[in-house]
Every structure is written in C-alpha cells, then in structure tokens.
Copies of this chain bind each other. A is one copy, B any other.
C-alpha cells in the first residue's frame, strides 16, 4: 500500500468533488485526509487529498483529467522525502536549526547540499556530513555568479531550494528557473520594513512587536506569496541588535514551519497569495 498526495487546482465548477471522488472510488483508493477550498473572489478550486491504495499513477491522472475542466493543474506526488538544496551566506542560525532538525528526523527531506557565497559555514555543514560548495561572488558580475550557482544547484535536481539567509538579490532569470520552488525567510513582518536591515528600521520606528516572514521568491524582492509569519514582543530596552537576536528565534521557527508545509505538499500558490490545505 502506497500513499500519495493528490493536488488539484482549477476553476470551480459544479460537481468537482463528486467527479474527483468518483474516480478515486472507482480506483478503489482510500481518502486518508481531504481538504478543499474555493476562493470566492476568483472562483478557483483547490483540493489536497492524501490517498492510499494500489495506485497506477498514469491511469489515475488520465481519468482525473477526463473529469476535470480544461486547464486544471493536477499533481500526484508520492509521499516521500523531497530533495533539497540550501543556499547560505554567513549567518548560521537558520541553517543550524535546519541541520539539527534534519538529524533529529523532523524533516521529510534529503538535504543534498549546502551552497554558500562565502566559506563561513563550511565547517558547520561538514560536521553533519553534507556536501558544502562555496561559489564566491567576489569580482564577478551578478549574472555570471548566478550561472555558476544554477549549474551547481542543478547537479542535485532539488525539488525545494531553501534560502537560509542567503543575502544576495536574485535576478528574474534565476527565479524563473525554479518556479514555486524557492523558499526565503525575510527578517521582518512583511510588508513592514521591506529592504535592508529591517531590525534597524524597526528600532528606529519604535515598534513593540517584530516578526519574520517565509515566502516564495518571485521577481519582486520581498513581494512573493507569503507562506508563514510569526512575531515576538519587544520593548524600549531593545537595541536593534537585541531585536535582531530576538528576531532570529522567530526566523528559525517561521522558516522551518514553512519548509514543513512545502515538504508535505500543503501549499498552493494563486496570484500573489498562498492557500494552505
């Protein structure tokens, strides 16, 4: 008995649940968990179904296609570990948290490699017997550096790319290589404090709460679909460095929550938003 995650997004229409469940029933499959959502504004239908049974993938996809509207997106993912590549720069807290979760068995993932634009984190990564590659950007054009990054990333054929405090801006060319595959952690409660050093901005504004935001990377910096956010209280005694320190806890938690959602195939993107089922 195998388990699969069936993901459907399409225009809403009468009878969708009936038609889909009919196919599953006819194929003698169990529905282990099911969630749907229809967005009332756009009339988009989203469904995530965990199914078990003897699954013939091609037949099932074909039969589902027949009963669904044209242009429907249908994905059928085996419930299995996803291959992941992590990009980093110098900061260790998010990467370290992921590594500890990884050896703890918390992540349904294979971390194939960590790639940095500095050497700083090689030692940490190699402690955990994971390959580390440094591709320095020094003295290089942005695009030339990205080409090397892409070449290195593609060696591992990752299903998810995690930017664990990778501090370089990505070009549209890079982003378009990996649609809905690149997860970033932004160190503010977006859309507050877009851009550089959000903790300094937050300190200057005198806020009483700071946060972090995990989102898909799109062409617009810090504007991608938000997956997860969380916050922590601060007060007047916090310097911006104290805020950064407090913020790190939130960054870790938010990034790992969003990462778990991706690993479990629970995130749909529509427009600039996410549906999480």
Q: Is B209 touching A229 in the complex (CB atoms < 8 A)?
A: yes
- Per DSSP, chain A at the interface is mixed
In the complex formed, the residue of B with least CB distance to A231 is B231
Within 8 A of B (CB), among A235-250: 235-237, 239, 245, 248-249
Q: Is A103 touching B92 in the complex (CB atoms < 8 A)?
A: yes
Contact with A97, one of B40, B97, B209, B273 (Cβ below 8 angstroms)? B97
User: Which residues of B are found within 8 Å of A35, using beta-carbon distances?
Assistant: 35-36
Q: Which of A72-80, A171-179, A185-193 contacts B (4 or more CB under 8 A)?
A: A185-193
A156, CB-defined interface residue at 8 Å: no
How far, in whole Å, are A273 and B271 apart by their CA atoms in the complex? 37
Contact with A33, one of B24, B38, B207 (Cβ below 8 angstroms)? B38
User: Which residues of B are found within 8 Å of A230, using beta-carbon distances?
Assistant: 209
Question: A277 to chain B: closest CB distance in Å?
Answer: 9
A166, CB-defined interface residue at 8 Å: no
Q: Is A237 touching B37 in the complex (CB atoms < 8 A)?
A: yes
Within 8 A of B (CB), among A172-229: 189-193, 205-209, 211, 225-229
How far, in whole Å, are A96 and B275 apart by their CA atoms in the complex? 32
Question: A261 to chain B: closest CB distance in Å?
Answer: 11
Q: Which of A10-18, A81-89, A143-151 contacts B (4 or more CB under 8 A)?
A: A10-18
Q: A97-B97, A191-B193, A207-B226 are in contact. List 5 more A-B contacts (CB 8 A).
A: A15-B21, A17-B21, A205-B226, A231-B231, A253-B253
